[in-house]
Structure 1
């Protein structure tokens, strides 16, 4: 009698990642999301290299902002879906130790992923979020950055 591996119970085929951790092409879900953010940001950076030269881009798991419960309208530098922030622009300033900081765009991974059912939908949502945030940073209309932009 052949011995079945515990990953092939009920003959459904192997379970688990196709590429085991430790192999060069293995990526976690957060690494795949980070790469998708960079892919969505690259055309914007290519279109405005001088204006975005001093702008950093980051991904955070969840929003870490103090929001009032009665807040229904967010400022331009925050992109939200209803009451949930999806990304924001943090202007250049000074940190708690008195060191200067660069302006930064932060995209919130969990809220974005929860609103997407597939890779194409995630790509489109990231494009919309980043277009609005770059427009807010450059003090432009999103339609000026991308004529196909729709809200």
Structure 2
């Protein structure tokens, strides 16, 4: 029987210690990677991962492209389409770079979880880059589902 004077060595009532997503395993360097603190930071990280992979593969063909994230599109008062744009692509000319803007809030609204958000961001970016290059989206990134996958 435990003495009432001895200190308890357990960290919680079941003795498990800290658990859950706040506790990450240590990386090879012995440090934990920083967690995104907000939805915006999480989205930016997803966007950066997608854009980096695509830009590494296609930068020679794309030329100068600026990638950006905005919270939501600015829609005119008389917008009656009923559909909210997920991205915007403005082709550059001369020294003006092409600008690809992805709208965070409409994409987050469509995603059920992080994996779904990653898939949606990949789809939107790949389709815009495919339009720039004039090729099929499945050629831009192998993760994009081709018509043969049906």
Q: Shorter-normalised TM-score: what interval?
A: 0.5 to 0.7
Query: What whole-Å deviation, never above 9, does each CA across 1:97-129 have from its counterpart, x for those lacking one?
Result: xxx531111000000001111110001111100
- Number of positions where the alignment pairs a residue of Structure 1 with one of Structure 2: 116
Q: TM-score normalized by structure 2?
A: 0.64
Given the alignment of the two structures, is residue 120 of structure 1 paired with residue 110 of structure 2, yes or no? Answer: no
Please name the residue that 1:37 is paired with: 47
Over alpha carbons, which structure has the higher Rg?
A: 2
Q: Which structure ranks higher in relative contact order (CA pairs < 8 Å, sequence separation ≥ 6)? A: 1
| CA distance in structure 2 between the aligned counterparts of 1:52 and 1:33, rounded to whole angstroms | 23
More strand by share: 1
Instruction: For residue 134 of structure 1, report the CA deviation from its aligned partner.
Output: 0.4
Name stretches of at least 5 consecutive residues in structure 1 with no aligned partner: 1-17, 19-23, 72-81, 95-99
Instruction: For residue 149 of structure 1, report the CA deviation from its aligned partner.
Output: 2.7
| C-alpha RMSD of the superposition | 2.9
Please name the residue that 1:137 is paired with: 132
Instruction: For residue 65 of structure 1, report the CA deviation from its aligned partner.
Output: 4.2
Please name the residue that 2:83 is paired with: 83
Question: Mapping of 1:1-150 within 5 angstroms?
Answer: 25=34, 27-66=37-76, 69-71=79-81, 83-93=83-93, 101-146=96-141, 148-150=144-146
Q: TM-score normalized by structure 1?
A: 0.64
Please name the residue that 1:14 is paired with: none
